[in-house]
Amino acid sequence: MNAAVVERAVEARLSSGPCPVIQSRRLTLRPHRLADADAIAASLADFKVARMLSRVPQPYHRDDALDWLVRQTSGLMPDWSLAITTGDDVHIGVVGMELRRDGWHLGYWLNRYYWDHGYMTEATGAVLERFFRRMPDAVVHSGAFADNLASLNVQRKLGFRIVDAGEVFSTARNRMAPHIDTMLEAGDLVRPQAC
């Protein structure tokens, strides 16, 4: 087998394919658009949201959102970055599948005004179900800061198991914070009951 064939085979195993549109019971998850910048900036300017994410600066501005969106909408990355939208296409959060050196990582956030309605479990469950259909042999890593019990609960409901704990730097908090690392294999995914 020549090197080009091997390289294409490796790329195919690492590629989840183009970012899909996923319809769940109450939500539409779709690829991002540059027009989502205002909604993203409004959500991530809220310290209660940003403090639970490792790489989000504070303050967070529209230009920060545009910088992120340009990369996400370029089509050059193997990642999925899905906007969580309600029936009227209002952007309320993000679910992302990011390919890093050590494999696939699930990340997500939700605008604070949509917390406590089961939206994140519904959105992440739908994304993971579609992802594992395309990548059945993948292992998905995730985690949350130890004080983010809601996020850890979402992961527990979906079948993630805790694999490690340590500290991760939080840009918004400007310090190290305790972090719980989790992982999920396709056979362990629990499809949550309708919310």
Domain ranges of the chain: 16-188
Name the pTM for this structure: 0.88
What's residue 193's pLDDT? 62
What pLDDT was estimated at residue 10?
42
Q: d(Cα 169, Cα 114) in Å, to the nearest integer?
A: 26
Residue 131 — left, alpha, or beta (φ > 0 → left; ψ -120 to 50 → alpha)? alpha
CB 179 within 8 A of CB 168: yes
* Tokens 């949550």, located at residue: 192
Residues 6+ apart with CB under 8 A from 135: 16, 104, 186
- Domain 16-188 in this protein, CATH class: alpha beta
Residues 6+ apart with CB under 8 A from 11: none
Exposure string over 105-140, b if 16+ CB within 10 A, otherwise e: bbbbbbbeebeeebbbbbbbbbbbebbbeebeebeb
Q: What are the distances in angstroms from CA 151 to CA 109, 121, 154, 179?
A: 9, 9, 5, 12
Burial code (b: 16+ CB inside 10 Å, e: under 16) for 49-84 equals bbbbbbebeeebeeebbeebbeebbeeeeebbbbbb
- Which pLDDT score, from 0 to 100, does residue 164 have? 97
Reduce the DSSP state of residue 46 to 3 states and report it.
Answer: coil
For the chain, 195 residues long, give each residue's pLDDT as a single digit of tens: 554 433 443 444 456 778 899 999 999 999 999 999 999 999 999 999 999 999 999 999 999 999 999 999 888 778 999 999 998 899 999 999 999 999 999 999 999 999 999 999 999 999 999 999 999 999 999 999 999 999 999 999 999 999 999 999 999 999 999 999 999 999 999 986 644
pLDDT at 5: 38
